Structure 1
């Protein structure tokens, strides 16, 4: 393994900035990732020693790690595959994700038995591996930024190993209110909260999620929460005080607008325009994630066609639902439900010259950008979402200006609600009416709203979002 030099800035996340694949000839190919963490860490400056600690996610990653081929600035942890699977699928994605998005079917799930306890032990081991790697790689007094629900325990474990470090944690998900959070076993609920409180600063995407975390700390840990008049919130527990910060991740408007006008996007836009004709468009782009509420969105469109016959043959719903977590049975079943519902709408309402729903389930970023440009109405109706960047991206890219139908349960609602058409994500009839309102909106009003949505949605692009967190942590007393 290529050992990273001691670093003054360290980032920890489940997924790293590079991934490796094994080609047919056995050679390893590296692929660089993008996003806010990558651009943000780069923006700090190459002169500052930094290390990214992440997990080896694939056989290619494991092979690169074992052969010492990884970049010295990336420390990829070759965690036992069984331990990783139990921590990642069993706890992070099937328990913590479900709790924070409020999506358990509580009459039957969750069931916290012996199998769960094996998974929890793996989650603890997974977090301990990260803490040990960070402790080893950090210079005295270094700054460590730990990311997301996969690594909830890491700040406290790291604090025990290296009390000299400045530690931050950022939650990219919503946070459950106390009554729902307490679905977790009492000891697990306490450990997750205490783990994050090992950080000097705990960051969230919205004030709502930060407030829910503080409420859980009070209810579960008996922690002291100080809610100051200037908006600052601190949580004190076990002799330590953690500052809660809010940093609302925005879309990278400059990149998206430039990327959306490249030839590959233009060709896909031409194909979509040919398929749509001169009809209006309702656009959604999501992963087939349970919380995204795609099926109810399709039922809302179905209700629109049934109750507003003036839109028959005059509108097309472009729905891109890209595969997500298909190693979990709930997600495979949900994808099948999306496909089935779209087909039922096309079978009931379609004509020889009109396909009411154009659905794609294979990921294609240029095609997504083409749909963004074509959108008259953007439908973003999650049951619950930490932020939802699609709500910010479509207005930034739309050619003629789009109306945004937005769930009040999306984190983006906090910034975009004033100019969006707000919906209760469970109310299919109200969502259908919101779609009608968006489709009927005066073009000038739609364009004006869209400009304000784009400005709000791109106010804190990924690199600035990362730097804001870093500087807040560095400047904290």
Structure 2
């Protein structure tokens, strides 16, 4: 398994001792849930000083694979340790914002992006060499296995790694799963030909390229047809023929680990938050939970709430909009600016409607990262607003559907990948339709209780039925089938994951 962020982070203490903390991200949870009994190695960038020092210690001691002590992690680790300058170029210039904004259709194209000499330097001195470092570390990890392992690459930071591995290890079994949307070919023209061709060819170095939903898989095939001249596309069988190889293009909608989410939601830590969270509730409570970044469409959501209060003044003083917001990627100017704009919008709405006599403020922002607090809050919403412009999936909608205790209604964007699974029972909105979102909020808050209960029950059952283990096992099954077709390794129970 290879991803920018790994399953654990290390801290070094004054006495030289290291402690490791396992992450709670969706990918770590997903893979941990289904890799019992498999020999698994995770390659990730060293994110903290402790990670870098632990990697240095391992190299000095000849420790090829690091075993994290004091965690429940089932993985052995190798760290990629680029210079801070290379990592900045790879992550804070190319991955974010350039690729992230492009793949979420966020660029204001008459004005940005500008591909300058600094951008080219970041590509050639950051993104390309860091991908090469990942490929090198993956190959070292592969050499520790008796048989050809499965290599599972994750997301937009590692688009070039598959092709680089293929060059040196022609029989490698490589799958790349892309968690974010894949835009249509015309939008990829914002990138110079060298960049977009390298990205497509890097992914075509894999055996399987996976996406969240069929639309994104189809857009990838369109993009290859447009920018990889010597490939041919079989749309019916969802594959690309390139340089004598067949690359499968599949979709695997990610979900949540229902058992783990419930366990956290009813943990002692989550219950501790329930002592003060009710001070934020009102007769009606609208909730949103997001990272503070532009694709989440937070500002339009607040504008829709403003319009709802304007159109339905009978709800003033009776409804609170709670926004649980996590600052994200503050090293990137576009994210800092968006957080500032979000705060200004909240201030204007509160100034417009606040009741001095009762102390009512319609919008309340809870800032910071605490997953147990998020889940504690999700139990009590009447409306969960998920109006992202475009999302690979958006697991917030699934978490809310699973644990809400008030038969809350989900107002869901058509741009969220979760719409494919949840759209029949959520109230669907176009992400730019402020008026339509305001009307959906009103419809949700006035919906008869029996209809709320029916919708909530069906949403919950849907999430329980298709949890994250299905997502991962479907990938392993396709990998095993593909391996059987190409090199005769058909036994999924014996698969080794690197």
* 1:114 shift after superposition: 1.1
| Cα separation, 1, equivalents of 2:285 and 2:87 | 42
1:433 partnered with 2:439: yes
Partner of 2:239: 234
**Any idea what the Cα deviations from partners look like across 1:404-450, whole Å, max 9, x if unmatched?**
11110111111111111111111111111111111111111111111
1:113 partnered with 2:116: yes
1:163 partnered with 2:170: yes
Partner of 1:265: 270
Partner of 1:187: 194
Partner of 1:392: 398
Say which of 313, 324, 329 aligns to 1:325. 329
* 1:101 shift after superposition: 0.2
Q: Say if 1:270 and 1:40 are closer, same or farther in 2 by CA, change over 3 A.
A: closer
| Cα separation, 1, equivalents of 2:191 and 2:17 | 44
Say which of 153, 160, 183 aligns to 1:153. 160
| Mapped contact 2:295–2:390 kept (Cα < 8 A) | yes
| Cα separation, 2, equivalents of 1:188 and 1:274 | 51
Say which of 101, 105, 118 aligns to 1:102. 105
| Mapped contact 2:45–2:80 kept (Cα < 8 A) | yes
Q: Which shows bigger deviation, 233-242 or 175-184?
A: 233-242
Say which of 364, 371, 389 aligns to 1:365. 371
Secondary structure in structure 1 of the residue aligned to 2:102: helix
Alignment of 1:68-467 (within 5 A): 68=58, 70-71=66-67, 73-121=76-124, 122-138=126-142, 139=145, 140-222=147-229, 223-228=231-236, 232-277=237-282, 279-351=283-355, 352-353=357-358, 354-467=360-473
* 1:208 shift after superposition: 1.0
| Cα separation, 2, equivalents of 1:326 and 1:226 | 42
Q: Say if 1:456 and 1:345 are closer, same or farther in 2 by CA, change over 3 A.
A: same
Runs of 5+ in structure 2 lacking a partner?
Answer: 69-75, 486-498
**Any idea what the Cα deviations from partners look like across 1:56-113, whole Å, max 9, x if unmatched?**
0122211111122842710011112211110111111111111100001212211112
Alignment of 1:6-45 (within 5 A): 11-23=1-13, 27-45=17-35
| Cα separation, 1, equivalents of 2:466 and 2:95 | 27
Q: How well do the aligned residues superpose, as a CA RMSD in angstroms? A: 1.8
* 1:26 shift after superposition: 6.3
Q: Say if 1:459 and 1:118 are closer, same or farther in 2 by CA, change over 3 A.
A: farther
| Cα separation, 2, equivalents of 1:112 and 1:31 | 38
**Any idea what the Cα deviations from partners look like across 1:183-219, whole Å, max 9, x if unmatched?**
1111111110111111100011111111111111111
Give the alignment's TM-score, normalised by structure 2.
0.89
* 1:458 shift after superposition: 3.7
Give the alignment's TM-score, normalised by structure 1.
0.93
Secondary structure in structure 2 of the residue aligned to 1:67: helix
| Cα separation, 2, equivalents of 1:355 and 1:221 | 55
Partner of 1:48: 38
* 1:45 shift after superposition: 4.7
Secondary structure in structure 2 of the residue aligned to 1:374: coil
* 1:25 shift after superposition: 6.7
Q: Say if 1:18 and 1:102 are closer, same or farther in 2 by CA, change over 3 A.
A: same
**Any idea what the Cα deviations from partners look like across 1:108-132, whole Å, max 9, x if unmatched?**
2111121111111121111111111
* 1:336 shift after superposition: 1.3
Say which of 446, 460, 474 aligns to 1:468. 474
| Cα separation, 2, equivalents of 1:47 and 1:389 | 27
Secondary structure in structure 2 of the residue aligned to 1:141: coil
| Cα separation, 2, equivalents of 1:23 and 1:105 | 46
Runs of 5+ in structure 1 lacking a partner?
Answer: 1-10
* 1:258 shift after superposition: 2.9
Q: Which shows bigger deviation, 146-155 or 261-270?
A: 261-270
Q: Say if 1:274 and 1:40 are closer, same or farther in 2 by CA, change over 3 A.
A: closer
* 1:364 shift after superposition: 2.2
